[in-house]
């Protein structure tokens, strides 16, 4: 099943590569891949470029089928894939272009704490997080919801959590969409989806989801850092999680129903996981209402997880989170479809932008940026792997021109989970990380090996492409100190 790429790839410059429209019948636009020669060596070993070409057949797709430098083999869309469709021209929406974990995303919180203070209590902190943040396969949370309460959560998103005392209203101001997509319609969710949402609010999940304590170790833009109250040696916390079972069920339900609707709209796709319907169709509108619910669930979830994290810091440092300066910098979605206005051939159009394993990156001055960040651009949070770095960037005008205001979402895998488990021993890895000063705790036996740094591309290479191609601008870099995983 694993065959390398044999198709054409035209070099545009050192960071941009095109898959011509002629590569495959039915491609409506070319593919465009952001990568350098080093990253391409791994990318070409698998099928992700085929997936970029497959996405180019979607009805209404405009400009390019895009892939970010963290591109890797997914299902339907590649991970790191971006596709925008023109709604007025019959453009489609595809649950496969959003992914199962709807609004899987990441948030970054700053603190006033400095490296030495946290290093002295690091093991205690990581153990505290591990004990208080529900994580791991099959683990539910203490926050139970049902009936009207669950409906409220699905409509209000992160605000639901804040109204329950899990956070501050300022958190909402710096969350993408203020933590709630409009148009959420709980009546579009199956009973199964609702059932799966009832006991998972405030749970981390498993796999690549984490809470990570980090230190800022490199500054690239002093001006932006000082506006964000960030400085070298300060401690940050990153939280990566999504919409849990509720979101998976929404994608599952709608992917199935859209496969059955393909013939109704006379759409043919090379992979059933790309099943889609016109945005303006009844089926499309139902999915949009359901997807917004799942996105809001994810924002509520990350808000709850941040609250639990703040409480652990409060207990260990015996100081409230406000006094510790634990302000949210930003929260971004990685798996989502959004309705945005972009210029296509000089004309502004309303597009449905699918980002699957990709981050919105709007430039300074854009109307959808929080007032506090209007001058600097939207913060973009790019987690790496647990042994290397993570980055904070801001969006640029060039991203608006070229990528619908989008950059990568992480490092991207290079090794399958089975291959990682085969070749890496969890206990050896744990010791290696410990020797580097990184404390890790994981619930799953295989999680550590699956998530080992070797299983990922080097985040420094990936972010470098984004920065050098001009679609994102580096602000600062963080180094991990302590990580909990499910």
Partner 1 sequence: MIEDRSTYPNGHDQLKAHILTGTNNSKPKSRGYELIDHTADIGIKAYGKNLKKLFVNAACGMFGILADLKNVRKEKEVEIKLEAPDVEELFLLWLGELLYQLNGKGIILKEFLIEELTGKRLVARVTGEKLNLKRHCLKTEIKAVTYHGLKVRKIKDAWQAEVIFDV
* Residues forming the site for partner 1 (CB under 8 A): 1-2, 46, 48, 72-76, 79, 96, 99-101, 136-139, 192, 195-196, 205-207, 245, 248-249, 251-252, 255, 259-260, 271-273, 275, 413-419, 421-422, 444-446, 450, 486
Residue 70 — φ and ψ, nearest 5°? Answer: -90, 10
Task: For residues 127 and 133, give the distance between their C-alpha atoms in angstroms, rounded to a whole number.
Answer: 10
Sole residue written with tokens 């994810």: 298
Least Cβ distance, residue 245 to partner 1 (angstroms)? 6
- Cα 397 vs. chain centroid, distance in angstroms? 21
Complex with partner 1: residue 58 or 172, whichever CB lies closer: 58
Other CB atoms within 10 A of residue 318 CB: 8
Residue 196: HSE in the Cβ half-sphere, 13 Å Cα cutoff? 19
Q: Note the helical H segments in 262-356.
A: 282-317
Q: Which is nearer to partner 1, 196 or 441 (CB)?
A: 196
**Nearest approach, Cβ of residue 52 and partner 1 (Å):** 14
**Rounded to the nearest whole angstrom, what is the least distance from the CB of residue 405 to partner 1 in the complex?**
24
Q: Indicate the residue among 137 and 372 with the shorter CB distance to partner 1.
A: 137
Q: Are 312 and 296 in contact (CB under 8 A)?
A: no
DSSP 3-state assignment of 457? coil
Angle made by CA atoms 121, 127, 131, in degrees to the nearest 5? 140
Q: How far is the CB of 456 from partner 1 (least distance, A)?
A: 10
Cβ at position 455, least distance to partner 1 in Å: 9
Cα four-point dihedral sign 154, 157, 163, 166: positive
Question: How many Å separate Cα 369 from the centre of its chain?
Answer: 18
Catalytic residue among 64, 240, 334, 409: 409
Q: Can you read off the two tokens belonging to residue 241?
A: 């999680």
R_g over Cα of the chain: 21
Contacts 24+ apart (CB under 8 A), 156-160: 156/180, 156/296, 156/300, 157/181, 157/184, 157/295, 157/296, 157/297, 157/299, 157/300, 158/296, 158/299, 158/300, 158/302, 158/303, 158/331, 160/296, 160/300
Tell me whether residue 342 is one of the annotated catalytic residues. no
From residue 280, alpha-carbon distances to 58, 109, 419 in Å are: 15, 38, 43
The least CB distance from residue 284 to partner 1, in Å, is 18
For residues 182 and 287, the answer to whether their CB atoms sit within 8 Å is no
In contact, 403 and 380? CB cutoff 8 Å:
no
- In angstroms, give the least distance from the CB of 344 to partner 1: 29
Alpha helix locations (H) across 102-168? Answer: 115-120, 122-132, 147-156, 158-163
**Active-site amino acid positions:** 409
């Amino acid at each position: 099943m694993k065959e390398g790429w044999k198709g054409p790839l035209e070099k545009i410059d050192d960071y941009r590569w095109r898959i011509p429209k002629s590569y495959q019948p039915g491609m409506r636009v070319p593919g465009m891949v952001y990568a350098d020669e080093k990253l391409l060596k791994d990318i070409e070993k698998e099928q992700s470029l085929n997936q970029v070409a497959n996405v180019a057949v979607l009805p209404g797709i405009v400009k390019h089928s895009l892939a970010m430098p963290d591109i890797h083999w997914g299902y339907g869309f590649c991970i790191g894939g971006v596709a925008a469709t023109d709604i007025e021209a019959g453009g489609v929406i595809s649950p496969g272009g959003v992914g199962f974990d709807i609004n899987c995303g990441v948030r970054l919180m700053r603190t006033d704490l400095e490296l030495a203070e946290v290093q002295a209590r690091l093991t205690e902190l990581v153990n505290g997080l591990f004990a208080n943040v529900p994580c791991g396969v099959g683990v539910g949370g203490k926050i139970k919801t049902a009936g009207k309460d669950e409906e409220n959560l699905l409509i209000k998103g992160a605000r639901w959590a804040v109204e329950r005392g899990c956070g501050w209203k300022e958190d909402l101001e710096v969350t993408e969409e203020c933590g709630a997509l409009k148009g959420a319609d709980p009546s579009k969710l199956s009973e199964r989806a609702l059932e799966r949402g009832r006991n998972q609010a405030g749970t981390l999940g498993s796999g690549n989801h984490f809470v990570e304590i980090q230190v800022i170790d490199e500054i690239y833009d002093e001006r932006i850092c000082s506006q964000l109250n960030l400085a070298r040696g300060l401690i940050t916390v990153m939280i990566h999680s999504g919409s849990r079972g509720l979101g998976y069920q929404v994608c599952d339900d709608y992917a199935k129903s859209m496969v059955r609707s393909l013939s109704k709209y006379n759409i043919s796709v090379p992979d059933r996981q790309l099943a889609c319907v016109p945005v303006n169709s009844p089926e499309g509108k139902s999915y949009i209402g359901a997807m917004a619910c799942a996105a809001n669930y994810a924002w509520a979830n990350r808000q709850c997880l941040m609250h639990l994290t703040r409480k652990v810091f409060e207990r260990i440092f015996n100081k409230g989170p406000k006094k510790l300066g634990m302000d949210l910098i930003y929260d971004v979605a990685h798996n989502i479809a959004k309705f945005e206005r972009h210029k296509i051939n000089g004309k502004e159009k309303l597009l449905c932008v699918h980002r699957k394993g990709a981050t919105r990156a709007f430039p300074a001055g854009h109307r959808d940026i929080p007032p506090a960040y209007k001058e600097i651009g939207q913060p973009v949070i790019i987690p790496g792997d647990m042994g290397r770095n993570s980055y904070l960037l801001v969006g640029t005008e060039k991203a608006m021109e070229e990528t619908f205001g989008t950059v990568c979402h992480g490092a991207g895998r290079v090794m399958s989970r089975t291959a990682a488990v085969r070749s890496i021993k969890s206990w050896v890895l744990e010791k290696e990380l410990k020797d580097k000063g990184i404390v890790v705790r994981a619930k799953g036996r295989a999680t550590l090996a699956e998530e080992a740094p070797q299983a990922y591309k080097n985040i420094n290479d990936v972010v470098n492409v984004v920065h050098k191609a001009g679609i994102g601008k580096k602000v600062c870099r963080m180094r991990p100190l302590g990580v909990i995983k499910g």
